[in-house]
Structure formats: structure tokens, C-alpha cells
Amino acid sequence: METILVTGATGFIGSNLIPILLQKGNKVIALSYPPKTDSISNILSYDKKISFITGDIKDSVFCDKICFGIDKIYHLAALADVPNSFKNPNDYIDTNIKGTLNICNAALKNKVSRIIIVSSAAVYGEAQYLPIDETHPLQPKSPYSASKLGAEAIALSMYYSYYLPITIVRPFNTYGPNQSDNAVISSIINQIISGKQKILVGDLSPKRDFIYATDLCNSMIALSESDAAIGEIVNIGTNVDTSIEEVIAIIKDVLKKDVVFETDKNLIRHSNSEISEIRCDNSKLISLTGFIPKISVKEGIAKIIENLFKGTSKNQYYV
């Protein structure tokens, strides 16, 4: 049994990762800031092998303490709202870059055996070629993506200087249970299920590589078990791109609902920060781990909708 620290534990990805780690027999230390008492925490807390702690990764002394006795770290804690990053860029620098530095320093001091640093495919910016591999030029188009790139540089410097056993992952567009309505798939599904006849959407033309949350989590776990992945940057995606318009058609088909969609200008990103198309070259992930993402967009959307109609019990929430 390993003792695993998950930062950002009650966020979208963390709340999908932790049940898988628990099912594998691990002990999980779940860090969240600020403290959360919502259904996610309540669902996760049923397992005796999980301990919740509250604290701020910007506090280096706190990070040193929580990394004592830890075998692995999944570093998910970050500010991730792209539009908000333009309004409060300093917050993103402090949390995403300085917070990552504190976790890496604490991991080094406490001799943590593996650290997965979760970055973002947003560091690539507009695609110069498709699919995007890990050597694609880096063109951050927001303070958020710039902060994730800075966090990567900090982690890599620790690897090259001290051989800190990191792996940096760049997830493409993740979706699944527990996601907020800031994300397009969950927003559309929840609007339709709530009974709205007119659904507000932004630009329908962008294409994204959507990866289901459990595929992402299993990819990260596989990378954490691969010695060949130490010091590497790895894309996580499906190598399939789907437009927002196609996503809407899938949701309507699964729900059997004929609703009207209306463009809301407030939901359209500024042209300077929007990315028209992105698709992942996941060959490096497959070569390092043998893991191939399994869940298509239609299957993933169907799973989300099925869970919403079933309810959110501890046995149904994570699929």
C-alpha cells in the first residue's frame, strides 16, 4: 500500500482520481483549499483510507509538513479559469508557479518517490500542425496557460538539478462527473436536464480533443508506475477532435431532446485567447505505458447523463 498525496483533491480531476487510487488499495491524503463540504467531499469520505487536510500550497512550511511520509504526489492544485486569469494574473502566478515550486521542494526534502505534475495542453496555443505532439511550439495565450508553462519549467529544473522524479502531463480537454458548468459539456447537459428550452452557447466551431476523466486518471496512474516516464512531458488525449457543434448533436441524441440553441456573446472568448482546433498525439503516452484511452465522446456523455439520472451515491458517482 502506498501513501499518496493528492493536491486539489476535491476539484474535478481530483474527485475522479481519488476513488481509483482507493480501489487500488492506497492510502490517500486529500488536500483542498479552501475547505469543501459539498457532495464530493461527502462521497469521498466514506473510505477509511482517505484523510482530508486543508491548507495553501503557497505556504512552503505547510507543504514541507504534508509531504512527510508520502510515497507519491499527484499535484492537481491550480487556478484554472482562463477568462479570470486575465483579470487576476498575479493570483495565477502565485498559486500555479510558486505553489508548484513549494510542492517540488517539499517532495525533494521528504524523498517522495514519484510526482505527477498536471499541466495543460493550453501551453501549445493555436495548433501549427495536427495532431500536436510534445515537441510542438509553445504559445501560451493567457496568463493561465503561461502560469502552467512556468510551473512546468520549475518542475523540470528540479528534475535536471536534483533528479526529482517528476512526470509532467498535459491533458487535453477533460470532461466527466463533477465538472463545473464553466465547461461546455456539463453546461449544456445541465441546462437541458433542468428543463430549459433555450440553451445558451458560445462559438460552436472550435474543435477539441475531449478525454473522459477516468481515462485521464488511469493514464496518470500508468505514468506514475513507469520509470521510463521520469523527467518526461506527456500529452494525454485521444487523437480525435470533435467540434462543439458535434458535441451538441451528441447530447441531443443521447437525451432525446429537441431544444433550441442560442449564441450568447458573453460565452464567446476573445479572439486573441481562443484556439480554433486542437488534437492530441498520444503516441508517447502509449509507448511509455501501453495505456490507450478507451471512452469515446458519445460514450462519455452517455455515462455523465446516466449518472445524473441515477443520483450521486458513492457507488454511482464515479464511473
Q: List, by residue number, the catalytic residues.
A: 144
Q: How many CA atoms lie within 13 A of 230 on its CB side?
A: 15
Q: For the chain, how far is it from start to end, CA to CA, in angstroms?
A: 23
Cell matching residue 260: 433550441
**DSSP tag of 227:** G
**DSSP tag of 126:** S
Cell matching residue 80: 484554472
Burial class (CB in 10 A: 0-12, 13-18, 19+), 270: exposed
The full length of the chain comes to 319
Q: Using omega within 30 degrees of 0 as the cis cutoff, is the peptide bond preceding 131 cis?
A: yes
The DSSP string of 156-206 is HHHHHHH---EEEEEE-EEE-TT--TTSHHHHHHHHHHTT-SEEEE--S--
Neighbours of 176 (CB within 10 A): 28
Residue ranges of alpha helices (H) inside the chain are 12-23, 39-44, 60-66, 82-87, 89-92, 99-109, 143-162, 184-193, 213-224, 244-255, 283-289, 297-310
Place of cell 476535491: 10
